[in-house]
Structure 1
Amino acid sequence: MVRLTRPRVLVVSIAALLLAYAFAVAPATTIGGAAPRPPTTAETGAVVPAGAAGPPLQPAVELFPPAGKAFFGVMTDKGPYDFTAVDRFAAAARREPQVMLFGVGWESGTFDRVLFDRIKDRGMLPMLGWEPWDYRLDQAARKQKKVTARQIDRLRSIQPRYRLSRIVDGDFDGYLRSWAEGVKSLGYPVAIRFAHEMNGSWYPWCERANGNRPGEYVEAWRHVHDLFEEAGATNVIWVWSPNARWSRTAAHLSGFYPGDDYVDWVGATGYYGTGAWSKYSTFDTIFGPTIAEIRTFSRRPLVVTETGATDAGGRKAQWIRETFRALPKHRDVIGLIWFEVDKERDWRIAASPAASTAFAQSVADPRYDLRWSPDLVPRTELE
C-alpha cells in the first residue's frame, strides 16, 4: 500500500484539478469536442451590429471622392496619346489631377485598352467622352472659309448615319458590345460621358438636329446602358452631361434625362468667355440655373464636366478664384474638369502665370487633397 504523505496528497490534488479543468472548463479541441471559440470583434477589427448573428461585416468601402471632398480633372487636345499638356497643367496647378476626360468618336474609335491604362497608371480616373458621330466632318466644316460659328454647327450636326433612331433600332449593337466587353475587361471603374450637350443643336445626337425626334435621346441612352449591363460591364460610371442653360427659353432638361436608374453622375458644361457668357459671368450665373433645374428631377452627384475661362477681358484669374470659392456652397458638386485647350479661346491655365497661380492656390485647399485609385468605389449618392 502506498502511504499518502502530505507532499503526495498535494501532488495528487494538483493533478486532479488539472484534469477537471481539461475536461470541464477548457474548450475541447479533439474530434467530437465542441468547436473552438471564434475570434472576438476586438481581435479582427470588424464591426458587428448589436444583436447580429453570423460572421462580422466587412469594413466600409472607401469612396471617390470621400465625404467633404471634391476632385478636379483635366481635358487636353491630345488626351492619353500625349501627356505633355497634362504635365504642364499639373505643374501649373501644383497638384496632380484625379480625373482625365478624353473624347472618342464612333466612326473611327475602336476600343483600345492602352488609352485607359495610361490614364489609370498615372493615378487618374479615365472619363470617356463617347460621341456617336464622324468627328472628321466637324474638322472639315471648320476648315471652310467665310463660315460662321452657327453654320459650322449646322454642317457638323447633319449626319444621317448617326441619327438617334439608328442607335435605338440596334444598328450599332455589334459596335456597342465590343466596347462593353472591352470596358468590362479593364476590371476598374471607368466613367462614360455619353453624347454630351444633347440639349443643344450642334451635334448629330441632339434632338433638335439631324432629323431626330423628341424622346429618342432617352431611348438611345437606355439602349446603350442596357447593352453594357447585359454584357456585365458594371464598372461604368454613367455621366449625363447637358450644356448649361444659356437662356430662359432653352429646352427643359428633364425631357432629356434617362432617370437615376440609368445615371450615376449628372454634369454640366459651361464656359466664361463665349456665347451667352461672353461678358463677365460668375460660376453661379453660368451654372446656377442648370444645377437648380437638375435638382428637380435627379438626386445624383453633380460634376462640372467641362469648364474654362478666357483672359480676353483680363479677368481669367479672378474667375478662377471666385469659382473655387463658390464651389463649396454647392455640396452636391463633387468635381470639376478643366478644359486645358487652346480652341476658339485659349482656356489653358498653363498659358497664364496669373491663372496658374490662382488655380494652384485654389486647389491647395484640403478639399481637393485626395487621390484616385482603381480600388475606390465611385460616390453615386449625395451626402
Structure 2
Amino acid sequence: MRFSKLWSLFAILVVAFGVMLAGIQPANAAQSKPAKPVSPKPGATAPAAPQLSSARLRFGAVTNGGPLSTSEITEVANLAGEVPSIELYYKDFAQPIPIAELNAVRSRGALSLVTWEPWTWGGAPVNQPAYSLDRVTAGDFDAHITQWGNGLRDWGYPVMLRFAHEMNGNWYPWAEGVNGNEAGDYVAAWRHVHDVVAATGATNVQWVWAPNVPYWGSTPLSGLYPGSAYVDIVGLDGYNWGTSQSWSVWTSPQDLFGQGLSELRTLAPGKQILITETASSELGGSKADWNTVLVSYLNAQPDVTGFVWFHLNKEVDWRINSSPASASALAAALAARR
C-alpha cells in the first residue's frame, strides 16, 4: 500500500510538471502559428443581397423609423427576400417637405408614398378645429401647401402624395361628421389642396386617394371621391385584426378587400389601385397562410399594382416577423409571384 501511494504521488508530480511546461509559452505564441484559412467549398457562394423585384405586383413597406432608418429597411428586405420598391411614411401639416427622406428612398431605387396629414401630431386625435376641412378650403394653409408644391417641383423626381387618407372612417379630424366637418367638405378640401400644388408646376406628383376598407357605418365612398381629374391612383387600407380586439374576427384577404376593390372600380374605372396599408394579426388563425393567400389574391387582380406592409408592432404585432412562420410565408409568396 505504501509503494502504491508513493507511485501515485510521483505520477501526480509528473503530470503537474508537464502542465507547467505547457503553460510557459512566448507571449506571442498564438500569433506565431496563424490558423490555416478555411477555403470555401468548390462552387459555394455567399448569399446574394436582396434586390428590387421586377414583378408586376410591387412590394412596399412602412417602418417605425421611416426611410432614414436604413437598418429597418434592410431588415424588411432580408425578411421579404427583396428590397421594398415603395416606402410609405407620414408627415403632418406642421412639417416641411421631407427632402432627406425623399433622397434616401430614391437612393435605394424605390418610390416614396408620402402620407400628408392635415393636422398636427400630438394634438387631440379627432377634434382639432384649427384644421377643419373648411379652413383648408378657405386657404388658411395655402402658404404651407405652396411651399410643399415648390419643394416637390424643385426636387423633380416622381413621388406619390397620399393626402388625408382613411377619410371614410371617424378617427381623423379630416373625416366628415367630426371636427365640425360636413358633407361635401372633404372633396372641396382635396380639390383645393390639389389645385394649389398643381399651380406650382409640380407635375412629378401622383395623387393617391386612399380610403379605409368599407365597413358597417363608414361614410359612403361615392360622396368622398374628388373625381378622376384630381386623382391619379386609388388606394385602400385594410387590416386583418383577427381576434385581437373584442369587435374583430379573423378575415381572409378576399373578404377584407373584395367590397372595397369593387367600389373603387366603380368610382374610378381604369385607375391603378394600390393597397396602401395592410398586415395581419397572429390571433385567431394562421398568419402564415393569410400572407400566402394575400399575395396570391392581389397578384390575380390586374389593376392592383402593389401593396404596402405595415411593419410595426403597434396596436398588435403587425410585423412581417411576428413569427418565423409569418416571415417565411411572405418571402415564399413574394418569390412565387415573380
Name the TM-score class by shorter chain.
Answer: 0.7 to 0.9
Displacement of 1:187: 1.3
Residue type at the aligned position of 2:187: V
**Cα contact 1:254–1:294 (8 A) shared by 2:** no
Which of 277, 288, 294 is residue 258 of structure 2 equivalent to?
288
**Cα contact 1:72–1:335 (8 A) shared by 2:** yes
1:142 is aligned to none
For residues 348-374 of structure 1, the C-alpha deviation after alignment (integer angstroms, 9 at most, x for no partner) is 11332111110111111354xxxxxxx
1:135 is aligned to 121
Percentage of matched positions with identical amino acids: 40
Structure 1: stretches of 5+ with no match in the other structure? 1-64, 138-154, 368-383
For residues 98 and 159 of structure 2, what CA distance do their matches in structure 1 show? 13
1:255 is aligned to 223
Which of 268, 291, 300 is residue 320 of structure 1 equivalent to?
291
1:193 is aligned to 162
Displacement of 1:87: 1.2
For residues 312 and 66 of structure 1, what CA distance do their matches in structure 2 show? 30
Correspondence 1:365 to 2:333: no
Residue type at the aligned position of 1:111: I
Give matches, 1:79-118, under 5 Å.
79-107=66-94, 109-118=95-104
2:37 is aligned to none
For residues 133 and 314 of structure 2, what CA distance do their matches in structure 1 show? 28
For residues 345 and 256 of structure 1, what CA distance do their matches in structure 2 show? 29
Correspondence 1:307 to 2:254: no
Deviates more, 1:268-277 or 1:321-330: 268-277
Residue type at the aligned position of 1:268: L
Correspondence 1:204 to 2:176: no
Where relative contact order (Cα < 8 A, 6+ residues apart) is larger, the structure is 1
Correspondence 1:231 to 2:200: yes
For residues 352 and 284 of structure 1, what CA distance do their matches in structure 2 show? 23
Deviates more, 1:309-318 or 1:70-79: 309-318
2:105 is aligned to 119
For residues 97 and 67 of structure 1, what CA distance do their matches in structure 2 show? 11
| SS of equivalent residue, structure 1 residue 75 | strand
For residues 186 and 136 of structure 1, what CA distance do their matches in structure 2 show? 29
Displacement of 1:67: 11
| SS of equivalent residue, structure 1 residue 191 | strand
For residues 122 and 277 of structure 1, what CA distance do their matches in structure 2 show? 40
Displacement of 1:195: 0.3
Displacement of 1:250: 2.8
Residue type at the aligned position of 2:294: T
Displacement of 1:69: 1.1
**Cα contact 1:200–1:208 (8 A) shared by 2:** no
2:45 is aligned to none
| SS of equivalent residue, structure 1 residue 337 | strand
For residues 67 and 89 of structure 1, what CA distance do their matches in structure 2 show? 17
| SS of equivalent residue, structure 1 residue 136 | coil
1:218 is aligned to 187
Residue type at the aligned position of 1:106: F
Displacement of 1:66: 11
**Cα contact 1:89–1:350 (8 A) shared by 2:** no
Deviates more, 1:194-203 or 1:269-278: 269-278
Residue type at the aligned position of 1:169: A
Residue type at the aligned position of 2:227: G
2:21 is aligned to none
For residues 82 and 221 of structure 2, what CA distance do their matches in structure 1 show? 34
For residues 246 and 277 of structure 1, what CA distance do their matches in structure 2 show? 12
**Cα contact 1:228–1:234 (8 A) shared by 2:** no
Which of 74, 81, 84 is residue 61 of structure 2 equivalent to?
74
1:355 is aligned to 326
Structure 2: stretches of 5+ with no match in the other structure? 1-51
For residues 10-67 of structure 1, the C-alpha deviation after alignment (integer angstroms, 9 at most, x for no partner) is xxxxxxxxxxxxxxxxxxxxxxxxxxxxxxxxxxxxxxxxxxxxxxxxxxxxxxx999
Normalising to structure 2: TM-score of the pair?
0.80
